[in-house]
Structures are given as structure tokens and as C-alpha cells.
A = this chain, B = another copy of it.
Amino acid sequence: MIPRYSRPEMTRIWEPANRFRIWFEIEAHACDALAEIGVIPVEAARAVWARGDLVYTPERIARIDEIERETKHDVIAFLTELAEHVGAESRFIHQGMTSSDVLDTCLAVQLTQAADLLLADIDRVLAALEKRAFEYKDLACMGRSHGIHAEPVTIGLKFAGFHAAFQRARVRLLAARADIATCAISGAVGTFANIDPRVEVHVAAKLGLIPEPVSTQVIPRDRHALFFATLGVIAGSVEHLATEIRHLQRTEVREAEEYFSPGQKGSSAMPHKRNPVLTENLTGLSRLVRGMVTPALENIALWHERDISHSSVERMIGPDATVTLDFALNRLAGVVETLVIYPDAVARNLNQLGGLVFSQRVLLALTQAGMSREDSYKAVQRNAMKVWQEGANFLDLLKADEQVTAHLTAPVLESLFDLGYHTKHVDTIFCRVFGRA
């Protein structure tokens, strides 16, 4: 997590003020439940809220840090500082709980908060993609397989395809959020020996979590692995769209371009440059997020009721993966929102191969006109290769090919070179994606 690739909305989740606030809420809600079932006095629980429900200011955080330097234990430092506000009733706080109860439940809250931000990010990406999709719904452009001209699609279809991908990202992230949103207040090895399970149920409900069915000392790490794996898959879709834009901006293609503001410098040495640096950056950020999947997977097999090897991993990838993906999604949304499309270049590329991209349709027409598929293929390929090699016009070649004209007249041939044939189902696809066309 480095400032250059961070948004304060997300980094805030991982800052001490938010963490301590969540810890406080866990403890205070637990006190309520403990009071409710008669383990601690009701007044004690009230006192915690009445005197402890305060913002974690830099001063408070400094005080906690000071205590931690002595005690070398973060939760104890936190409780000690809290006691300084709550007073005598503070001794009822944390009764029967273990540090992991606080830490793991807090991580669950932080990850759901992070997931909510990421969901909003995805919504912004979706909105941008939908807008641009409809804007260019009918702008025919070259479809390419293997980087080679294939058959026409539309610019709008490209956006629609990525919209569908980010819809999937949304669904998956919701599932991952649900998977991670559990609460464990079950004590040292998860047996509730010193704390009633009803406390966990209460705290979970208050924090928007569900109780972890079986915690050991910790919430099982397959949940976190699934969460980070999902972020990795979403990062893959970010890279997918970024790669598409980078390709479209290549000098020889240049159908699209990241917005380049007046006064911007593309290169200090080469004043003529306009580089797709944002989408290249997104490609790198995707690598980073995807790289965090492996350590998350390795975190699952903790020893017995827990070992603490996962902790250092999560201290790093928890913030890094969410902050980086949040930044990436926002940068991506911005790129899509302002992406410049060059219809002239789109048209020029579409025609670059002199109609070669209609080869399949000619092939089918020849077949339907009675030529065998094999002969049709040979006839079409024979003429197509001349276009590649000599730059000739495909339609002209076909019209001059006797084997072809024996089956298809010139006007029929001309009619096959028709973009509309290729775009006739765009509305169908749009309806699938957007529910409207």
C-alpha cells in the first residue's frame, strides 16, 4: 500500500482510528450482552457506552501506542486506555473474551467495509461502461481474434461485454463479502468455556455479521482465502479491460485514447508522445492484487486450533489488496468515463483489408449456392491471400474469379459486403446485458 496508489476512503478503513473504533464497538456490544444475561452489571455496560463512546483522536491513539510499548500487547493497551475513560466499570469489559475474538471479528468488519467500498467502485465502473456502451452501441468496428482482423463488431458491444464481466465481479464480491462476514467471540480455543454463545450472537447482529459456526481460536482462513481470491479474479477483469484499451490506443490502431489533457506531458524526452499510462498502470496493479492470492491460499492450513503465521500476511495483504483494487477500480472508471473514441480511425481500420472480413459470409454464400464447402473455402482463401500479399481489393478479386462468379453474381457479391448483417443482433445482446437496447 503506497500513497500513490491509494484512496483515503479505503486507507481510512485500515487506520488505527477505525480499528480501535471497531474494537470498542465489539467490546461495548459484548458488555450489553453480558449484562443482558446477568454476567456483568447493567450499569457497567451503560457506563462503557456513556463514557467510552468517543472518537479515537490522534491523542488517544498516541496514548494507546505508549501503553503498547510497555505491555507489548495491542489489545491490552487498547483496554487500558479505554479504562482511563470508562473508569471503574472498565473491569467488566472483555470478560471471558480472548484477543482473537476482538481481532478476528474486527478484521471481518474491516473486510466488509472494504467490500462495500469495492462494490461502490464496481458500480461506478458499471455506470461508466453502460453509458459508453449505449453511446457507441452501433459504431461498427473491427472485431479481432488472435490480434488479426476477423469480423465486425461494434464499439458498444465491447463495452457491453465488459459490463457483463463487472456484473459478474459484483455478484462474486457480494458472495465473498457474505463469506467473510462472520463474528467469533468464542474464547481461547472456540469452546465458549468462559463466555456464553449468546454474546457472540448479539455482537454479530449488531455488527451486521453472522456468528462463525465453529471458530477455533480464530475464524477459519478459507474464508479469507476465498475473499482474496475473488479480489484476484476481479483484478483479472480490470487487466482485461485495461489491455483492450492499451491495444486500441496503439499508434497503428488508435481507435481509442485515454484522455490527454491540454498541457499534459507524455514523455520528458519525446514531446510527441501520448501514452496509455493509466491502463498500463492498471495492468501492473492487477498483477499486485493477483499476487496476493497465493499467500492467502497458504494461510488456510493453520496448525491445530490456530497458529499465528497468517497474521503478518494479513497485516500486509488486507490493506494492500483492498486499497490497490479500490484505487484500480476508480482509476478504471475514470479512464472509461473519459475515454476518447476516434470513429474515423475505427472506420479506417474496418476497411483496412479491403473487405477481407466478409470472407466467411462469401464462403457461406458459395456453399448455399451449391459449391462444396471445401471448394468454397479454397476459392475464398485463394483470393483472400492475394489481399494479404498484394493489398488488392477483395471484392474486385472475387468478381474476377470465374469459379466464384459461376455461383454468385456481382450484385449478390456486393450485397454480402454488408456491415448491417453483422450488427443485426446487437440489440439482442444489449437486452441481455442491460435489460434494454
For residue A153, CB closer than 8 A to chain B, the reply is yes
Q: Kindly identify, within residues 239 to 287 of chain A, every residue whose CB is under 8 Å from any CB belonging to chain B.
A: 239-240, 242-244, 246-247, 249-253, 264-277, 280-281, 283-287
Is the CB–CB distance between A275 and B357 below 8 Å? Answer: no
Which chain B positions have C-beta within 8 A of A320? 316
Separation of A9 and B373 alpha carbons in the complex (Å)? 39
Interface size class of A (residues with CB under 8 A): 35 or more
CB distance from A125 to the nearest CB of B (A): 14
Q: Kindly identify, within residues 337 to 386 of chain A, every residue whose CB is under 8 Å from any CB belonging to chain B.
A: 349, 352-353, 356-357, 359-361, 363-364, 367, 373, 377, 380-381, 384-385
Is the CB–CB distance between B293 and A428 below 8 Å? Answer: no
Which chain B positions have C-beta within 8 A of A310? 284
Copies in the complex: 4
For residue A52, CB closer than 8 A to chain B, the reply is no
Q: Kindly identify, within residues 77 to 125 of chain A, every residue whose CB is under 8 Å from any CB belonging to chain B.
A: 91, 96-99
Which chain B positions have C-beta within 8 A of A316? 2, 5, 288, 320
Which chain B positions have C-beta within 8 A of A246? 146-147, 303, 307
Contacts known (A281-B309, A281-B311, A364-B96); A147 close to B304, Cβ less than 8 A: yes
Which chain B positions have C-beta within 8 A of A217? 143, 145, 150
A-B contact sample (7 more), CB < 8 A, given A99-B269, A143-B189, A252-B349: A145-B267, A147-B304, A150-B217, A193-B421, A222-B236, A284-B309, A287-B309
Report A188-224 CB contacts with B as 1/0, cut-off 8 Å. Answer: 1111111001000000000000010110110011110
